[in-house]
């Protein structure tokens, strides 16, 4: 019988085959319950305690790992410890909502804001969903949702993988990753790359995969083949062996064809801990300071970088990395490249 092939976004490199294993489900809420006035103080305290305990657990996990895993776990620990989140959940309890639904409602409001922001921020909703589920489970004394422990190498399959679980994956046990949701900049994808695990994310039909079913994940093709033949698995294993052999011969810092270094400039930090987006002027000043610190370290001409968004989201502000001169440039013309100034 020909294997069915699921299509998604391939993350990482290489391929791997193994039995699928689904993650433990999130806690299921009972019907909402209106609290008696005498219950409110204790329920509000319990909600705050649940969030604190989740934050502490994630911070402790972060302390056991390094690199991208530690950064992601620390960021999620800080989110769980956000006073605004605890205050909102407690406020809902004070209005008479039971703790589990108050937590769900508070996380839902934060989630909606990220979805509305779109792009990179929208891909953080999986983090909030996981924090919500962990907090509700902690409050209700239920088992924590997360990775299975089948006792043999396997391929985790989930709607989306939580950073708290992905960061602690054991590459000796986990062969590859498959999720129904997620994109190339989701934390699942970031950590899959860091762990050098092939992954297929955004596979809409992955929910139909049953425990124990053999899957072959091909990161380069962005496919998940179900019930592959032994010959297909053998051929894929040989391709993976050759890929790793080639990768083992590569060494040294990343460089472009013209010898320039490669790096990533993270710009989202100015958006944190504030209710409104920073102005173009504020962003430009912040990025100009960074570029100025690298004066004289740019090879051959000036590098151009997108450094700020206009309030209408229709204009870029281009900043010359060599001289820190800035000028507006219409987003609609971005595909044609930066202005030919300061070159």
pLDDT tens digits, 82-132: 999 999 999 999 999 999 999 999 999 999 998 888 877 887 888 899 899
Q: Tokens for 258?
A: 């013209």
Strand 199-201 versus strand 177-179 pairing type? parallel
Task: Tell me phi and psi for residue 306, to 5 degrees.
Answer: -70, 125
CATH code 1.10.274.10 region(s) in the chain:
37-140
Strand 155-158 versus strand 177-179 pairing type? parallel
What pTM value is reported for the model? 0.55
Number of CB atoms found within 10 A of residue 52's CB: 15
pLDDT tens digits, 2-34: 458 999 999 988 999 999 998 877 888 999 999
Residue predicted with more confidence, 244 or 250: 244
Query: From CA 323, how far away is CA 341, in angstroms rounded?
Result: 11
Query: From CA 283, how far away is CA 271, in angstroms rounded?
Result: 10
Q: Tokens for 304?
A: 């151009």
Question: Which range has the worst mean pLDDT, 101-105, 218-222, 241-245, 262-266?
Answer: 262-266
**Does the pLDDT at position 72 exceed 50?**
yes
CATH code 3.50.30.10 region(s) in the chain:
5-23+147-249
Pick from 82, 135, 56, 71: nearest CA to 273: 82
| pLDDT cut 90: percent of the chain above it | 40
CATH 3.50.30.10 fits 5-23+147-249, yes or no: yes
CATH of domain 37-140: 1.10.274.10
- Residue 285: strand, helix, or coil: helix
| pLDDT cut 70: percent of the chain above it | 80
């Amino acid at each position: 019988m020909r294997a069915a092939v699921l299509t998604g976004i391939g993350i990482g490199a290489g391929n791997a085959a193994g039995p699928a294993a689904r993650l433990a489900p999130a806690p299921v809420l009972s019907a909402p319950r209106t609290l008696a006035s005498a219950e409110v103080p204790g329920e509000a305290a319990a909600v705050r305690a649940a969030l604190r305990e989740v934050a502490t657990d994630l911070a402790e996990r972060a302390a056991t790992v390094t690199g991208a895993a530690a950064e992601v776990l620390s960021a999620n620990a800080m989110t769980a410890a956000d006073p605004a989140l605890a205050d909102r959940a407690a406020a809902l309890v004070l209005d008479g909502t039971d703790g589990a639904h108050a937590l769900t409602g508070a996380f839902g409001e934060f989630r909606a804001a990220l979805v509305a922001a779109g792009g990179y921020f929208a891909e953080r909703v999986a983090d909030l969903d996981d924090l919500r589920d962990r907090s509700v489970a902690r409050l209700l004394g239920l088992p924590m949702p997360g990775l299975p422990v089948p006792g043999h190498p396997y391929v985790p399959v989930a709607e989306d993988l939580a950073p708290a679980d992905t960061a602690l994956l054991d590459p000796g046990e986990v062969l590859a990753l498959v999720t129904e949701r997620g994109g190339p900049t989701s934390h699942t994808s970031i950590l899959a790359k860091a762990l050098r695990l092939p992954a297929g994310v955004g596979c809409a039909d992955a929910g139909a995969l049953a425990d124990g079913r053999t899957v072959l994940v091909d990161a380069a093709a962005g496919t998940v083949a179900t019930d592959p033949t032994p010959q297909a698995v053998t051929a894929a294993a040989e391709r993976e062996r050759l890929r790793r052999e080639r990768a083992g011969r590569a060494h040294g810092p990343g460089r472009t064809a013209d010898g320039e270094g490669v790096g990533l400039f993270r710009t989202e930090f100015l958006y944190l801990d504030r209710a409104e987006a920073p102005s173009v002027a504020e962003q430009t000043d912040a990025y100009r300071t960074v570029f100025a610190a690298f004066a004289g370290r740019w090879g051959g001409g000036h590098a151009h970088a997108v450094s700020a968004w206009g309030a209408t989201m229709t204009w870029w502000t281009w900043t010359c990395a060599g001289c820190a001169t800035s000028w507006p440039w219409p987003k609609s013309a971005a595909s044609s490249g930066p202005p030919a100034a300061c070159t």
